[in-house]
Amino acid sequence: MKKITKVVVLFLLVLAFLAGCSAPPASSSTGGAATPSPSTNATPAASATVTSATPASTAQTSFKVTSVQMAVSPASIAGQSCGTELTVTYTATFHVVPDQGTHTVQFAYTTNNGRSQQFASLQFSPGETTKTFSFSWHGPLPLDHTAPGLGGVLVTSPNQLISTPIKPAGLCTPAPFHVTSVTMSVNPGTIAGRHCGTNLTVTYTATFHIAPESMGGVIKFGYTVDNGRSGGDNTQTLVVGPGTTTQTYSFTWSGVLPADHTFPEPGGVLVSSPNVVHSPLVGPSGQCS
């Protein structure tokens, strides 16, 4: 019995195998040929070339002032007398980096080291590299040597730049100290109408005139109130400062107006140093009555 059962099972297995070998090939669910999958090698899209935007031209001009050279004429005042009238000329030479445009240089100039200033400008044509500007100082050479002063320029546009200031070398020579003249005045100017026997004080004033632009010194002199009879007996001194051109000295006579009209008498001075000068003699006019 068991042998028959194994034969049947074997027969069924053979039938199943034969049925599988004779089945038609598989087809797509749509009944058409299978559509091949698209290629995965995609062609890239055309790439845009990105170029940085070029802004509108912002390049600035290269024009600028690189230096200013100063010159002065005369180059020296050594040997000139103080008080001499003189004109000093300063010349500034501007050096620039040029370009193809026309440009204006604006600046201030001074003749006293910047304590005061004036304003000016220069126009440069295309390609021009240098230009000059002159200005001047005029006046007497002072004894204190404060002028002529340092001259120079301060550029304010297109850029800022300060020149090296310059002035003439040396110093003026002071004038020799000496008295040029002495003038006299008297007060009262007249005694007419006064009574004889009246007490009176008469004041004599001497004005010493000194050469200008000197360093000063000492004046030695004597004075008289008796028409020069005792002029050497009243020796006096005056100290004169630098640059002083006049100095005064007063002296007096006091007494009773005599009936013989011998007083007051003419008064004056005699300078003995630094040089000899005689003043005129003056006294009140008229007579007492």
DSSP code for 192: T
Residue 102: per-residue pLDDT: 96
Q: Is the per-residue pLDDT at 57 higher than 50?
A: no
Tokens standing for residue 67? 């230096």
Q: How far is residue 81 CA from its own chain's centroid? A: 27
- Using one digit for the tens of pLDDT, what is the confidence trace for 1-55? 444 444 444 444 434 444 444 444 433 333 333 333 434 343 343 333 333 444 4
Spatial distance between the Cα atoms of 167 and 77, rounded to a whole number of angstroms: 10
Residue 58: per-residue pLDDT: 39
Q: Taking Cα atoms as reference points, which of 209, 210, 251, 249 lies closest to residue 230?
A: 251
- Using one digit for the tens of pLDDT, what is the confidence trace for 157-195? 999 999 999 999 999 999 999 999 999 999 999 999 999
Whether omega before 188 lies within 30 degrees of 0, making that bond cis, reads: yes
Residue 162: per-residue pLDDT: 98
Q: How far is residue 187 CA from its own chain's centroid? A: 53
Q: Which CATH class is domain 64-162?
A: mainly beta
- Averaged pLDDT for residues 120-146: 96
Tokens standing for residue 12? 């069924």
Distances (CA, A) of 60 to 101, 105, 130: 12, 16, 21
Distances (CA, A) of 79 to 2, 82, 151: 160, 9, 21
Domain boundaries, the chain: 64-162, 179-278
The larger pLDDT score, comparing residue 230 to residue 19, is at 230
